[in-house]
A and B are shown apart, each in its own frame.
Chain A
Amino acid sequence: MRSRRVAIAALAVATSLAVTACANRGGGGETSSANYPSKDLTLIVHAGAGGGSDLTARTLAKELESDLGKSIVVENRTGGGGRVGLTYLKDRPADGYSIGFIPVEVAMLGHQGADIKPDQYTILGQVMNAPATLSVPAESPYQTLAEFVAAAKAAPGTITVANSGAGAIWEAATLALGESAGVTFKPVPYDGGAPAVAAGVSGEVKAVMAGVSESGAAAKDGRLRVLAVLAPERVAALPDVPTGKELGVDVVIGGWGLMGAPANLPAEVKQRLADAVHKAASSATFTDVMTKAGNTPMATSPKDATAFTQAEFQRFGEIYQK
């Protein structure tokens, strides 16, 4: 009697595994590119629902839907700091029905041991950038970036700078800033952007490197002083804060985002999607949501975005070499 029960239990496990395994297949049927799009699209996001990347993707998806005339299902494939989602996207069929939000990690993970490179994707255009900000606690003695750099020069490797996590973009930004200014900071990883900013507000660290959207709230409230924004131009959310370039430290770095698809997308499909992405990224709704969230909306051509991504891939390789 008991062995039968065990067998039933084992069977239940096996069946449930089989069912879930099957559920993952399917989709990806052949359709000609002439009447593209003839069915609904899937937009893959590497991060969980509710985050900045998810917000960008969902806002963009609404605009894309009205242009393409088909529904776009946003699918969050989270895990591995972007590895899971990016790997999933690159392995989808290149038929134009699987597109994805491609984060800055596409240029970083390849240098951190993952099999992810920009040329594994068809890049459709850049849609946003979240420039890095360097901020100090309100009561910090450092009033300018020059003073902060001078302090790091006087005591190399001891000036602590919080970031959102090991291997994340804001840690790389800290390294890049130090490289550019000729000093060494001490990056301290926290468990996300918010705890890093909290450590900056409480003065547990000397400074915090974070995106505009993360440091913006505390900065506007006067509990953080933003010394520099590492963007090509001043940003709308912090109009009084000078850029690194203005202050003589010419480094531009941030958490950017592209729209893309698996590599080798048919030319007509690529053109249709790139046009749609450009239109959606230029729409008033999208630019408005991006600006309010503290990011910089962008709409670049596939060619420019591809060149930019390759350049970023090279650059992160150099940052992680050192």
Chain B
Amino acid sequence: MNALLDGFGALFTPQIALCILAGAAIGMLVGAFPGISATMAVALASAFTLTMDPLPGLAVLLTILVAAQFGDRIPAILINTPGTPASIATTFDGYALARQGKAGIALTASAYASAIGGLVGIAVLMAAAVPLSNLALEFGSPEMFALVVFGLTMMIEVSGGKIVKGLLAGLFGLALGTIGRDPLDGSDRFTFGIPQLVEGIPFIAVIIGLFGITEVFSQMVERGHAQQEAVRSFGRWWPNKAENRSMIKPVAVGSAVGTIVGILPAAGGDIGGIVAWDQARRVSKEPELFGKGSLEGLTAADSSSNAGVGGSVLTTLALGVPGDSVMAVMLGSMIIWGIQPGPSLFSQHPDLVYSISGILIFATLLTLGLSLLRMRGVAKLLELPTRFLWVVIVTFCIVGTYAVNNSVFDVGLMLLFGVVGLLLRRFGIPAGPIVLGLILGPLAERNFRRSMELGGLETIYTSPIAVVLLVAAVLAIAVPRIRSRMKARKRPSPPGTPEPRQPAGVGS
């Protein structure tokens, strides 16, 4: 208990308060800017914080991380462009809500869900960091492969009912994911001698193109055809009682999923958000609304990707092995400050662990307050005439994409994907499965092939975790179809009920 008091007490100084404020301001700005990720902001800030003492330095860096995860929802909801990859799943329902004139409620609900998810993640960090971090070590290559296969089954669900088109889009995403250096033998695949493609197709350029630019192009082309106007009105800001109640379950699901995914190495807020969105859909009473403007889907995704922050901090502190790229940067700073992450940190310096948790809690609450205040200001921006707004959005997308790698190639690629996205939309092909294939495809391949190197198929079927996840993947696809077939039998049989499907992708 003393460690708790010491740890929190150390934070009540004007210097720390200023650091948290500065971090929150920087973080929210970079989060709202598509392309500039939390990793980049933390990395650039770490060059300045190295000369500070560890605690103020950590206050700046951790707050930037937390605040960026809040800020990135705003463009996701208002202009269909994820501010950072962690808010990909936010666009699924957030933008749909905004189009229905419910942007206000979406922003408020998203901010609360993000805060609750974040706090749950931190609470878990404080309570059980060391035992839980061992879970991360249980997830080797075979287990990660199985988890990713489970994730791939969601392609069907993010297709919005258009299963064939969704699977086509998913295949396109998987194909894009094969671009780049072969993960095992190092030879170049489909790079056409372009060095920018050696490490894989620039992911951020693709998502900004497919989501943000496609939206602007489509509004330009369709304007005059009504109903394609940009979001103009915010509607109510506060959810009513029934809406609040409906969000309890998805936020609980999201927080749990997000914390677990965050603990796993190499899986961040983007995957956490997508997995939670799908899990919440499965337990929802109104699954048909998901992807068409469901508050449940929005809050599940947001609580999950924010709960992941606690999870990834936990893995990093308890294992000394970073949970994602932001934490890799953070770990570098800690080591230079002389903080040695690992299980012994928790036994020897519990006060420091509590200080870190405290910083995360203050940062979350402060950012929640700022979000609720500041969102009204965003409304002013949207009062611009549409054609000016387009310019602002396209400029944001170009500058943000350029900033990732200082690369004009990336900007060209982003605009190309804007056009690709426009064509796909014309044919009614959804963009969600493309992104899913692009994120998960390379992960599935690497971990599968690595498992084969490590000991062949045996590594997969002898791992209980992998087997459970693979069975879950099969069930995830089969059960809804069997159930709908049984329902169909009870009634006079309508023809053409779909066959249960086996998961694609296994053994690919």
Q: Which residues from chain A sit less than 8 Å from chain B, CB to CB?
A: 1-2, 5-6, 8-9, 12-13, 16-17, 19-21, 23-24, 48-52, 54-55, 58, 75-81, 83-84, 87, 112-114, 160, 165-167, 171, 186, 188-192, 194-195, 197-199, 201-202, 204-205, 213, 216-218, 220-221, 223, 289, 292-294
Residue of A whose beta carbon sits closest to that of B266: A195
> Which of A194, A205, A293 has the most B CB atoms < 10 Å from its CB?
A194
B335 lies within 8 A of A293 (CB): yes
Contacts of A192 in B (CB 8 A): 328
The distance in angstroms between the C-alpha atoms of A166 and B199, with both chains bound, is 11
Judged by DSSP, the binding face of B is: helix
A2 lies within 8 A of B221 (CB): yes
| 18 interchain pairs, CB-CB under 8 A | A9-B217, A20-B412, A23-B402, A76-B405, A80-B195, A84-B196, A166-B181, A166-B186, A191-B266, A192-B328, A195-B266, A199-B140, A217-B320, A218-B320, A220-B340, A221-B342, A289-B50, A293-B336
Judged by DSSP, the binding face of A is: helix
Q: Is B332 an interface residue (CB 8 A)?
A: yes
Nearest Cβ in chain A — how far from B232, in angstroms?
19
Contacts of A58 in B (CB 8 A): 47
Contacts of B336 in A (CB 8 A): 289, 292-293
A77 lies within 8 A of B454 (CB): no
Residue of B whose beta carbon sits closest to that of A1: B224
Stretch touching chain A among B7-15, B36-44, B365-373, B474-482? B36-44
Contacts of A55 in B (CB 8 A): 47, 332
Instruction: Count residues of chain B with CB under 8 A from any CB of chain A.
Output: 69
Nearest Cβ in chain B — how far from A244, in angstroms?
24
Assuming A194-B265, A217-B335, is B220 touching A79 (CB within 8 A)? no
Q: Is B54 an interface residue (CB 8 A)?
A: no
Given A79-B202, A80-B196, list of 4 further CB < 8 A pairs?
Answer: A5-B222, A79-B405, A84-B407, A221-B342
A81 lies within 8 A of B199 (CB): yes
Partner of B408, one of A5, A20, A195: A20
A81 lies within 8 A of B217 (CB): no
A79 lies within 8 A of B195 (CB): yes
Q: Is B329 an interface residue (CB 8 A)?
A: yes
The distance in angstroms between the C-alpha atoms of A55 and B331, with both chains bound, is 13
Nearest Cβ in chain B — how far from A91, in angstroms?
12
Q: Is B76 an interface residue (CB 8 A)?
A: no
Partner of A2, one of B197, B224, B325, B390: B224
The distance in angstroms between the C-alpha atoms of A87 and B50, with both chains bound, is 30
Contacts of A79 in B (CB 8 A): 195-196, 198-199, 202, 405, 407
The distance in angstroms between the C-alpha atoms of A84 and B195, with both chains bound, is 6
Residue of A whose beta carbon sits closest to that of B453: A188
For chain B residues 210-252, which have a beta carbon within 8 Å of chain A? 217, 220-225
Residue of A whose beta carbon sits closest to that of B200: A79
The distance in angstroms between the C-alpha atoms of A99 and B340, with both chains bound, is 34
What 1/0 flags go to B462-490 for Cβ under 8 Å of A? 00000000000000000000000000000
For chain B residues 15-68, which have a beta carbon within 8 Å of chain A? 39-40, 42-44, 46-47, 50
